[in-house]
Amino acid sequence: MTDHSSDIDSVSGKSTTGHEWDGIKELNTPLPRWWVICFYLTIVWSIGYWIVYPAWPLISSNTTGMFGYSSRADVAVELANLEKIRGDKMAALGAASLADIEKDPALLALARAKGKTVFGDNCAPCHGSGAAGAKGYPNLNDDDWLWGGTLDQIMQTIQFGARSGHAKTHEGQMLAFGKDGVLKGDEIVTVANYVRSLSGLSTRNGFDGAKGQKIFAENCAACHGDAGKGNPEMGAPNLTDKIWLYGSDEASLIETISQGRAGVMPAWEGRLDPATIKAMAVYVHSLGGGK
Amino acid sequence: MNKTVNPNDLKPADDVGPLYAARKKVYPQSVSGTFRRIKWTLMAICLGVYYLLPFVRWNRGLGAPSQAVLIDLPNSRFYFFFIELWPQEVYYFTGLLIVAAVALFLMNSIGGRIWCGYLCPQTVWTDLFYAVERLIEGDRRERMKKDASTDPMKLERISEIVLKHSIWLMIAWWTGGAWVLYFNDAPTLVKELVTFQAPMIAYIWIGILTTTTYLLAGYMREQVCTYMCPWPRIQAALTDEWALNVTYRYDRGEKRTSVKKAAELRALGQQVGDCVDCYQCVAVCPTGIDIRNGPQMECIQCGLCIDACDNVMTKIGRPKRLIGYDNDINIHRRQEGKAPIYRIVRARTIVYSAIIAAVGGFMVYTLATRSLLDVNVLHDRNPVAVKLSDGSIRNAYTVRLLNKSGYDRAIAIDVEGPVNPKMHVVGVDSVTPDRPIIVIPRDSTSELRLLVTAPAENNPEKSIPVRFHVMDIGLGVAASATDNFVAP
């Protein structure tokens, strides 16, 4: 213990704490008693807290407290309550037709909110969190739709997918004209340039338009149509617009024609409940490109 | 005054002092006079406003609350007579706090702790509780005697104590009760409270405020000011030599002596102080200090010692205001035989007043000219731009329209930026496709998803600024917001 015997302030006659700075000593001004009592009470309180609530970490778990309180259980209860509250609204969503959902502001807001969440969980890995797509994965914000952009068509695509193996899935794929030996190398180059010309893109020197048109008519028009406008029934894209899933440069087109394309969209029926799929369809439709 | 003590002469060892100190209970004596009257009046006004304001009505039309002052938490609205504030207008409260703080500084530089002595809720309620205590248990001496008594308590004493605490609790309960009325329609809530139909949270808050009022005004009293409140420390740092504080004019008071002796010495033509050491200033002090020791942190400057001293001075035939609002400068000037000077208007008070006027003026101006129609626009971030099949470019925006008025509005949206843009509001089939019209209900916001498409032939090369104009087509009130139109 420090000897405080000389720690008396000569001016005030009060004792000091013994701490000195540049010759100035701090007077010992006692705390109020109630303050000290409150301080000790908080310590006592904390002991009670250790006993009542989970507090001490053990090797693989922790003390559970007197009543087995768990914040995780609290969250589970709250989530269950939330689901219950949402249940009614989701039921209303499930009962309404797609067109009616878009006309009812409350249902539209719910469908968009729900759709956005579910989209983030299930669709974003391929289509991107903002549904902007990537090469081979369609942008869902634009007005170009492989399988149709009406509410019902979007819903059908989500439900059954494309080339998903589901019994009702969209079928039809871009054949590998080069790999399968249907077209020869120079024919592929010619038809690729012809396809570019359909949407007003430049063609290579010496490109024979008539020959390209002939190859196109014989091989491609069955799915893409005589004018190359595509066909949503087959998932055949419109070749006359400005949107290209796999790229519009000659090399990409040659690759597409030689190797074929068959992107897969999984079927969500059975994995998501019908009301959720409806919400998704409305959400995707509302992104801006829906027809 | 300070003499040096040889440390060796001082009592050693056990005089280190206690780690904590018990409160010395204060028994303020009743007093009458100018400052007591001012304090009673201000107490009546402050408490009257606090207890009755929730019952004042204000007609805002059908469907809007009719309470003049209401903090509507569920709907996030604050109503103050003709003003209605939304959460995003919280800067008015910031402004109010700035004005309040600077007003506190101004008060302090003019008249010391005016707030502490007259207006602070802690002072007002403590004063009220002391009044109740005095009414039931008697004045200072009686209360001290009763507290010191070791005799077994008689029924009369017990009933006094019970009565005092009952009245205290009732006042405290009313304090908490009035508090919750600011958060709900007062007459409805009162009905619910008495029939036990009110929400649990109302009872909980009444309970909390009953407890704090009872403890703070009944028990903690001056200790709140001394130990808990930061203002005494701040004000000590803010004060200057011209500020008027409750001051013992030692130039007049010293040397202290008795009435009789003073008269004798005066008869001999000698200089004598006016203070007769009657301790009335100490007896009436609600913080239990002696003002004659000079400015002290504990002093809340309520002016009651001025009243007490004036009464004594009148009785002994000496001039009043031996204790009064004054400063050291004037004490010294009087000692030097000069006339005292008072400088209320000085750089400090001018600057404080200017800040109050500037902030207050700015608030009033913005409040008076604020628009009851507002629009916020947020550009879609992912994707920022979408190329459509015909080569045109589309940008999407989240548009939030705010209708702060008490009636529904039909709003037309125009966009200025891209050449010949097409607009579409998701979920709205507008009869005027190039100029969507949306109805926003009264006192609410609407969030819309607005798609703006620049035709292929007018595609901007790069990002260009875009301006959204919204207009109430009935009243012509308009608002606008800017953002960018981004090319991919």
Per-residue pLDDT of chain A (291 residues; tens, 9 = 90+): 444 455 777 777 778 887 888 888 888 888 888 889 999 999 999 999 999 999 899 999 888 889 889 899 999 999 999 988 888 888 999 999 998 998 888 898 899 999 999 999 999 999 999 999 999 999 999 989 999 999 999 999 999 999 999 999 998 889 999 999 999 999 999 999 999 999 889 999 889 999 999 999 999 999 999 999 999 999 999 999 999 999 999 999 999 999 999 999 999 999 999 999 999 999 999 887 777
Please indicate, yes or no, whether residues B218 and B75 belong to a single structural domain of this protein.
yes
Sort A110 into a burial class: Cβ within 10 Å, 0-12 / 13-18 / 19+. buried
Residues in Cβ contact with B158 at an 8 Å cutoff, skipping those fewer than 6 apart = none
Please state, in angstroms and rounded to a whole number, the distance separating the CA atoms of residues B60 and B82: 8
Collapsed DSSP state (helix, strand, coil) of residue B53: helix
Please indicate, yes or no, whether residues B363 and B442 belong to a single structural domain of this protein.
no
pLDDT, one tens digit per residue, over B304-331 is 999 999 999 999 999 999 999 999 999 9
User: Domain span at residue B401?
Assistant: 373-485
Chain B's closest residue to A37, CA to CA, is B20
For residue B16, being part of any structural domain is answered with: no
Residues in Cβ contact with B391 at an 8 Å cutoff, skipping those fewer than 6 apart = A241, A242, B456, B459
Q: In terms of Cα–Cα distance, which of B486, B474, B463, B484 is closest to B415?
A: B484
B22 inside 8 A of chain A by CB: yes
Collapsed DSSP state (helix, strand, coil) of residue B377: strand
**pTM confidence score:** 0.76
For residue B256, being part of any structural domain is answered with: yes
Q: Which of B320, B341, B370 is the last residue of a domain?
A: B370
B449 inside 8 A of chain A by CB: yes
A148 inside 8 A of chain B by CB: no
Please indicate, yes or no, whether residues B196 and B253 belong to a single structural domain of this protein.
yes
Collapsed DSSP state (helix, strand, coil) of residue A257: helix
Contacts of A129 in chain B (CB under 8 A): 382
A13·B10 Cβ contact <8 A:
yes
Nearest CA-CA distance, residue A132 and chain B, Å: 6
Chain B's closest residue to A16, CA to CA, is B16
Mean pLDDT (whole number) for B433-441: 84
Q: In terms of Cα–Cα distance, which of A238, A262, A254 is closest to A170?
A: A262
Residues in Cβ contact with B210 at an 8 Å cutoff, skipping those fewer than 6 apart = B169, B172, B173, B175, B176
Inter-residue contact B371 to B405 (CB < 8 Å): no
Both tokens of A141, joined, read 């914000």
User: Does the structure show a pLDDT above 70 at B17?
Assistant: no
Please indicate, yes or no, whether residues B142 and B214 belong to a single structural domain of this protein.
yes
Identify the CATH homologous superfamily for domain A185-259: Cytochrome c-like domain (1.10.760.10)
For residue B8, being part of any structural domain is answered with: no
How many Cβ atoms sit within 10 Å of the Cβ of residue A215?
Answer: 21
Residues in Cβ contact with A18 at an 8 Å cutoff, skipping those fewer than 6 apart = A2, A4, A7, A25
Please indicate, yes or no, whether residues B167 and B208 belong to a single structural domain of this protein.
yes
Residue-wise burial string across B201-226, b where 16 or more C-beta atoms lie within 10 A, e elsewhere? ebeebbeebbeebbebbbebbbbbbb
Residues in Cβ contact with A118 at an 8 Å cutoff, skipping those fewer than 6 apart = A272, A276, A279, A280, A283
Q: Which of B370, B394, B419 is the last residue of a domain?
A: B370
Contacts of A243 in chain B (CB under 8 A): 387-389
Chain A's closest residue to B17, CA to CA, is A15
Please state, in angstroms and rounded to a whole number, the distance separating the CA atoms of residues B305 and B312: 11
Both tokens of A99, joined, read 């067109």
Please state, in angstroms and rounded to a whole number, the distance separating the CA atoms of residues A246 and A139: 12
User: Does the structure show a pLDDT above 70 at B4?
Assistant: no
| Residue percentage of chain B with pLDDT more than 70 | 95
pLDDT, one tens digit per residue, over B452-469 is 999 888 788 888 999 999
Q: In terms of Cα–Cα distance, which of B281, B287, B251 is closest to B113?
A: B287
Please state, in angstroms and rounded to a whole number, the distance separating the CA atoms of residues B241 and B361: 30
Give the pLDDT score at A1: 42
pLDDT, one tens digit per residue, over B178-224 is 999 999 999 999 999 999 999 999 999 999 999 999 999 999 999 99
Give the pLDDT score at B183: 95
Contacts of A6 in chain B (CB under 8 A): 7-8, 10, 12
Give the pLDDT score at A105: 83
Work out the mean pLDDT of chain B and round it to a whole number: 91
A38 carries a ligand binding annotation: no
Domain with CATH 1.10.760.10 in chain A: 73-167+266-286, 185-259
Inter-residue contact A278 to A177 (CB < 8 Å): no
pLDDT band at residue B64 using 50, 70 and 90 as cut-offs: confident
The ipTM is 0.74
Please indicate, yes or no, whether residues B131 and B241 belong to a single structural domain of this protein.
yes
Provide the chain A residues 102-121 that lie in CB contact (below 8 A) with chain B: 102-103, 105, 108
The answer to whether the peptide bond before residue B255 is cis (omega within 30 degrees of 0) is yes
Nearest CA-CA distance, residue A237 and chain B, Å: 11
Give the pLDDT score at B189: 95
Nearest CA-CA distance, residue A214 and chain B, Å: 25
Please indicate, yes or no, whether residues B341 and B395 belong to a single structural domain of this protein.
no
B387·A242 Cβ contact <8 A:
yes
Q: In terms of Cα–Cα distance, which of B482, B135, B382 is closest to A140?
A: B382
Mean pLDDT (whole number) for B44-73: 93
Q: Which CATH class for the A73-167+266-286 domain?
A: mainly alpha
B16·A32 Cβ contact <8 A:
no
In this structure, of A191-195, B355-359, B403-407, the range with the lowest mean pLDDT score is: B403-407
Please indicate, yes or no, whether residues B366 and B409 belong to a single structural domain of this protein.
no
Please indicate, yes or no, whether residues B468 and B457 belong to a single structural domain of this protein.
yes
Give the pLDDT score at B1: 42
Please indicate, yes or no, whether residues B94 and B161 belong to a single structural domain of this protein.
yes
Nearest CA-CA distance, residue A212 and chain B, Å: 23
Please indicate, yes or no, whether residues B32 and B160 belong to a single structural domain of this protein.
yes
User: Does the structure show a pLDDT above 50 at B13?
Assistant: no
Both tokens of B234, joined, read 């701040």
Please state, in angstroms and rounded to a whole number, the distance separating the CA atoms of residues B356 and B102: 7
Higher pLDDT, B52 or B61: B52
Please state, in angstroms and rounded to a whole number, the distance separating the CA atoms of residues B375 and B436: 15
Give the pLDDT score at A116: 93
Please indicate, yes or no, whether residues B163 and B104 belong to a single structural domain of this protein.
yes
